[in-house]
Amino acid sequence: MTHKEPGLQDRFGRQFSYLRLSITDVCNFRCSYCLPDGYQKQSGPEPLQLDEIQRLLAVFAQLGTRKVRITGGEPSVRKDLTEIIQLAANTDGIDQVALTTNGYKLAENIAAWHAAGLQQLNVSIDSLDAERFQQITGYSHLARIIEGIDQALALGLKVKVNAVLLKGFDQTELALFENWLKQTPVSVRFIELMQTGDQPVFFSEHHVRGEAIRQQLLDNGWSLRPRQPHDGPALEFSHPDYQGRFGLIMPYSKDFCSSCNRLRISSLGKLHLCLFGDQGHDLRQLLDGSHTSDELAAELQHLLGIKSETHYLHAGETGAMRHFAMLGG
Ligand code: SAM
Ligand code: SF4
């Protein structure tokens, strides 16, 4: 690119400095709210390859992207995950590389991922009760995932844990997380279940509002931290007696979209302007090396111009999102 680009900003003044890059839609877990029957193999194109990812990230970085989160499906099913981390970390302008994983390969790989440039890790753990964890995910080695988290912390990584709130989450479950946070400096983020196309019945049977957790945290002495200028949509709670923190992500709350700072790329190279908005805009044809970075930058600027102000989840409209493994949350 030869001139200074104005950066990625939409019609509503929101700046997009954060990219979520899905590198596969394959997953080995069967989370009840995401892929209850497991991943169903489909024929079709391969996910983005290293050279395509490199071209894509270079242009996003030139347009002001500073943070990249690698997600999936389960990103660690890809054999070249370490190279993808390295490539993102070596992209000029990108100063934070994060990964979202279900953690099943964490303990054996975290040292290599860290050496490749990974700074931030999100691990999904919906329950610290081993039996309930297995019921939700279909996977039994919760203790091994916790071991991986301990290793990540020892290496100095910033760790967040994602827990989707599901009916049945009660005081006992919350107490398990609180106990863990006493000595463990991670941020546990409770995420309200979001409705997806595949799961309308599951959603109506299992969705619980984050508001109840918010009240319980306040009752237990946690306090809401003031928002910082570049914070995403999570509310953050801290407590002087605990090393860890809680976060609450309530996508159905008013104004959730006003702090949106992220764009998403699917594993096949489609830009999604909103998790729930659209079918995705295909960028892959611009990534084959026969197009200039200016062409891709111009397309991105054009697409940003049509981003909507908000999602329509309140009205039950889930857009093209059948399940989160398609885009990685
Ligand atoms: N496989 C990785 C993992 O589970 O961390 C990365 C992809 S997963 C789709 C990303 C995040 O989306 C996970 O934390 C998962 O719990 C969350 N998620 C999946 N389906 C969801 C839903 N319907 N509502 C809210 N969060 C969801
Ligand atoms: Fe897999 Fe993540 Fe979906 Fe669970 S939430 S099925 S781990 S993609």
Give the pLDDT of residue 151. 98
Residues (pLDDT < 50) of the chain are 1-4
Ligand 2: centre distance to CA 295 (Å): 34
Ligand 1: centre distance to CA 46 (Å): 22
pLDDT digits (tens, 9 = 90+) for 28-58: 999 999 999 999 988 889 999 999 999 999 9
Q: Is residue 79 part of a domain?
A: yes
Give the pLDDT of residue 261. 78
Q: Is residue 313 part of a domain?
A: yes
Q: Domain limits at 60?
A: 18-164+261-326
Q: Is residue 2 part of a domain?
A: no
Query: What are the C-alpha distances in Å from 270 to residues 21, 72, 128, 181?
Result: 10, 13, 35, 38
Q: Which residues line ligand 1 (CB under 6 A)?
A: 27, 33-34, 71-72, 74, 100-102, 124, 162, 164, 191, 193-194, 196, 324-325, 328-329
Average pLDDT, the chain: 90
Tell me, what CATH number does 32's domain have? 3.20.20.70
Check: CB of residue 16 under 8 Å from CB of residue 258. no
Give the pLDDT of residue 2. 41
Q: Is residue 314 part of a domain?
A: yes
Give the pLDDT of residue 312. 61
**Residue 233, amino acid:** P
Q: How many domains does the chain have?
A: 1
**Residue 132, amino acid:** R
Reduced to 3 states, what is the DSSP secondary structure of residue 323?
A: coil
Extract the runs of DSSP E, i.e. beta strands, from the chain.
18-22, 67-71, 96-101, 120-124, 158-165, 187-192, 223-224, 235-238, 245-249, 262-265, 270-272, 281-282
Q: In whole angstroms, what is the distance from residue 246 CA to residue 310 CA?
A: 25
Q: Is residue 201 part of a domain?
A: no
Q: What is the pTM of this model?
A: 0.92
Give the pLDDT of residue 4. 47
Q: Is residue 46 part of a domain?
A: yes
Ligand 2: centre distance to CA 328 (Å): 8
pLDDT digits (tens, 9 = 90+) for 134-177: 999 999 989 999 999 999 999 999 999 999 999 999 899 999 99
